[in-house]
Amino acid sequence: MVFSVNHPLLFLLALIPVVGVLAQSVYFLVKALRRGREIGMDAGKIRKTVRTAAIFTIAPAVSIVISVITLSKTLGIPLPWLRLSVVGSLSYEAIAASNALGAMGLELGKVGSLTAQQYVNITLVMTISIMVGIWLVPVVCKRLLGGMSRLGARDAKWADIFQSAMFIGMIAAFLGYVFCDFSRLWAPVEGYSPTSGLVPVCVMAVSAFVMLLCGLAMKVLKWSWVNDYALPISLVLGMVSAIPITAWLG
């Protein structure tokens, strides 16, 4: 059988884990919905959670499709489709593929067409390197969450603060990341305009402002429905604002 990175068999092989991921998601969704009903959770709130999660996911998912397109130019369609439907990201897959090819004395993007052996090496490096979370979660999840429960039983207030601190810590790291190119203002980098580091900062500010407006609409105008869409609205408007802001600041 002659190998090609877009061989129909590869699509079929990639489809199997993709269906597995879908099945796992549906299984946990049904399990949580049933348990929610059992303990008498408000059906309206659950519907709202489903709706908001689905709407919120659209824009980030489209950006994942763009990553699939980017990687498909060198790796074909089936492998990026599989890798980005399960654990994976554009930067990770590109680094793993580049390292796997580099070990064979080749360079990603400069190989005319991959051989089956090169392809197998790339997929093995990608798969084995990123597997940690999948097996480690079953090993430590119960113990970690048990620890959190014991903390809650000992001191409920501190447990709540602890949980909020974890969320805030994660958000703070990403807020810091938004400013990572800010120093271009006084330390220019070749190929970038000095103001280019302000683009993510301005986009973040637009998104934050939209979120504030949504909060105002809820409080002043009593538009409670805005609550369901506040995050997706601020995300999409923030992304849209990046187009003129980038044209302006570079």
Window 76 to 95, contacts with another protein (CB under 8 A): 77, 81-82, 84-89, 91-92, 95
Window 220 to 249, contacts with another protein (CB under 8 A): 227-228, 230-231, 234-243, 245-247
Please tell me whether residue 198 binds another protein under the rule CB under 8 A.
no
Please tell me whether residue 174 binds another protein under the rule CB under 8 A.
yes
Please tell me whether residue 46 binds another protein under the rule CB under 8 A.
yes
Window 95 to 134, contacts with another protein (CB under 8 A): 95-96, 99-104, 115-125, 127-134
Window 5 to 24, contacts with another protein (CB under 8 A): 9-10, 13-14, 16-18, 20-22, 24
Instruction: State which of residues 109, 111, 113, 171 lies at the interface with another protein (CB under 8 A).
Output: 171
* Total of chain residues touching another protein, rule CB under 8 A: 156
Instruction: State which of residues 43, 111, 137, 216 lies at the interface with another protein (CB under 8 A).
Output: 137
Q: Which is nearer to another protein, 113 or 164 (CB)?
A: 164
CB of 125 to another protein, least distance (A): 4
One DSSP character per residue, the chain reads ----TT-HHHHHHHHHHHHHHHHHHHHHHHHHHHHHHHTT--HHHHHHHHHHHHHHHHHHHHHHHHHHHHHHHHH-SHHHHHHHHSS--HHHHHHHHHHHHHTTT--TT--SS--HHHHHHHHHHHHHHT-HHHHHHHHHHHHHHHHHHHHHHH-HHHHHHHHHHHHHHHHHHHHHHHTTTGGGGTS--TTS-GGGGHHHHHHHHHHHHHHHHHHHHHHTS--TTHHHHHHHHHHHHHHHHHHHHHHHH-
